[in-house]
Amino acid sequence: MANDPLERFKTVPSFTVTSDDVADGRPLSREQWGAGGGGGDASPQLSWSGFPAETKSFAVTIHDPDAPTGSGFWHWAVYNIPASVTELPSNAGAEGGAGLPAGAAMLSNEMRSKSFTGAGPPPGTGTHHYNIVVHALDVEHLDLDPESTPAVLGFNAHFHVLARAVITPVATAGDI
């Protein structure tokens, strides 16, 4: 991938993230597309394992670095997921966060919604890569302003990341 935002960060160990809904390098399903494009705006089911024993919490982000914005497009940002949690169900990113574990918090995405916003690559912009990253952190709680952006989450998590798990499905306008 030519636009890998993670390559700028320090190298950390990796662990495994899997999904019943999406697969690395495979097109997103209709449910993970935005409602405006005929999809379901449902965040994918995610499971992770093999993270460092000293992990105290997780953050999950979904970012499209290929969006024609100059800075990509944040679809979802969740943090303060307890270390005992190793799975998020499909649609955990619904507005209001009822599908999230106790203590976890969502930040507003690019649409200014505290929810998951599905894919919607504009025609003529090629294949978009959706970096789904589970960050294993060395702190139980990131003290962020609830109105912070996903970029602020990324900045703060950067200083506490022990390991990362990444799965990158794709989408191209007209896929659904």
Give the integer Cα–Cα distance in Å for 123 and 145.
35
- Give the domain extent around 138: 5-172
Q: What are phi and psi of 100, to 5 degrees?
A: -90, 155
The predicted pLDDT at position 1 comes to 46
The predicted pLDDT at position 42 comes to 97
Residue 85 burial by CB count (10 A; 0-12/13-18/19+): exposed, middle or buried? middle
The predicted pLDDT at position 31 comes to 96
The predicted pLDDT at position 2 comes to 55
Chain position carrying tokens 């799975």: 87
Q: Residue 168 half-sphere exposure, CB side, CA atoms within 13 Å? A: 16
Is the pTM higher than 0.85? The answer reads yes
**Mean pLDDT in consecutive groups of 10 residues from the start of the chain, 176 residues:** 68 96 96 93 98 98 95 97 98 94 97 96 95 98 97 96 97 86
Q: What are phi and psi of 61, to 5 degrees?
A: -130, 150
Looking at residue 82, which CATH number applies to its domain? 3.90.280.10
